Amino acid sequence: MNRRSFVSGSTALAAAPFLMTSRSPGAKYGEFGDARKRVALIGSGWYGKIDLLRLVQVAPVDVVGLCDVDSRMLAGAADLVATRQLSGKKPPTFKHYQELLDQQKPDIVLIDTPDHWHALPAMAAIEAGADLYLQKPVSVDIAEGKAILDAARKKGSVVQVGTQRRSTPHLMDAKEQVVDAGLLGKVGHAEVCCYYHMRSRKTLKEALAPVPDHLDWNLWTGPAPMRDYNTVAHPRGWRAFKEYGNGIVGDMCIHMLDAVRWMLGLGEVNRVSSSGGIYVDTKSIANIPDTQTATFAFDDLEVVWNHRSWGDPPDPEYPWAFFLYGEKGTLKADVHKWEFIPRKGGKKLSGKVVFELEEYPEDKTEEGLETHVAPAVRGHMRDLLSRIEDRGRPVADIEEGYRSTSACLLANMSQELGRSLEWDAKATRIKGDDEANRRLARPYRKGYRHPSKG
């Protein structure tokens, strides 16, 4: 599907008002099966709502449950969903995902928790017979990701990972018009980067606070190491800590690395080397690197990542982006636009995001929505629903998500260990490095069992 067919499909729906309601523009019966899918969301914060409401926009689903350990966040999400889903009903709410799964038996589960809470609910949802929309990275360690992949294949579950660059309409156009058309020639190098100042600058003194009454901090921590509550970790800032996430590499590199893999048809990474650390912002409570470089070696191509959460980007037009360097030209691309620059004259090509605000007017007022990303999430949800109907592999299938996640986790591991890591994907091992292999499955806190242990 390219951008033109995507927009054409949206326009066709907009021309059929008898199939829509004000709560769900674009949603209609029959496109993804005649029965309404029962949908549940685990993790009802910022991006959980973005993902769920994009699904509500493209299909007449019934939201049958929301789950979160923050009761205030949960109640707000329930009120919002009631205004947007077809039934107008407020969905039941749950603090623990297993209660939701047992009582509501959803067909589709969206998992939008912090990284350290991806694996256990994903495994439980698969076991319960649900199909998944699983946010990236798929896991906080490589063994978790492999366990999810194996469980999905054994159960026959359809799992779409939230690497939605693969469903970004203008990037689909770039792939078709430039990469697939051979305009780059042989691609000999690729770069991915993020220079957003997104690492928290709060100090320990500024961040420490009593646990709010509406938050179950013990359950929020779950299998991760217990540390004192702080206002950076929740809400939204948890990626600042290695205990809960995979830092800027796990948050931002995975998107652009996955986009390069998709664009060029790259498989498993073979070798990863990374360096970096906390070089500038030393006073922050955050314990993830503020500066990091990683090199991902594939069969015949190296992809180089750089992030700095300080200073200016080398190319101000592309602060979070990927660059493909071919013998015939260069492709620059990000979530807003792309441009192809031929090496020896010739015609330049370019494209940009199509916001779809007329087709989906609620995008204009939805709090916290990244309007430029909304079309990609809708496309990702449509692809998920189509694959649920035909039981095929979605564009960001769990195996692709696992591969991109593993590469990013290896980069962080390489940076921490101070050496390159050679990855044997078939054996799920790092060659000749016992210390690194011990890090493939990190210890869980007492009372929680790592999914790789059965």
Phi, psi values for residue 13, rounded to 5°: -65, -40
* pLDDT reported for residue 126: 98
pTM of the model: 0.93
* pLDDT reported for residue 239: 96
Topology adopted by domain 3-166: Rossmann fold (3.40.50)
Q: Which of 173, 198, 183, 237 is nearest to 320 (CA)?
A: 198
Question: DSSP for 438-454?
Answer: HTSSPPPPTT---GGG-
Tally the C-alpha atoms within 13 A of residue 304's C-alpha that lie toward its C-beta: 8
* pLDDT reported for residue 22: 38
Q: What is the pLDDT along the chain (454 residues), one digit of tens a residue?
A: 333 333 333 333 333 322 333 344 445 445 676 579 999 999 999 999 999 999 999 999 999 999 999 999 999 999 999 999 999 999 999 999 999 999 999 999 999 999 999 999 999 999 999 999 999 999 999 999 999 999 999 999 999 999 999 999 999 999 999 999 999 999 999 999 999 999 999 999 999 999 999 999 999 999 999 999 999 999 999 999 999 999 999 999 999 999 999 999 999 999 999 999 999 999 999 999 999 999 999 999 999 999 999 999 999 999 999 999 999 999 999 999 999 999 988 899 999 999 999 999 999 999 999 999 999 999 999 999 999 999 999 999 999 999 999 999 999 999 999 999 999 999 999 999 999 999 999 999 999 999 998 7
Please give the CATH architecture assigned to the domain spanning 170-368+402-453.
2-Layer Sandwich (3.30)
* Structure tokens belonging to residue 189: 């190098």
What are the domain boundaries of the chain? 3-166, 170-368+402-453
Interior CA angle at 290 toward 284 and 293, to 5°? 165
* pLDDT reported for residue 33: 64
Q: Which of 354, 338, 326, 139 is nearest to 256 (CA)?
A: 338
Give Cβ neighbours of residue 97 (< 8 Å, ≥ 6 apart).
42, 67, 120, 121, 124, 125
Looking only at the bridges linking them, the beta strands covering 131-134 and 159-161 are: parallel
Backbone dihedral region for residue 277 (phi beyond 0: left; psi -120 to 50: alpha; all else: beta) = left
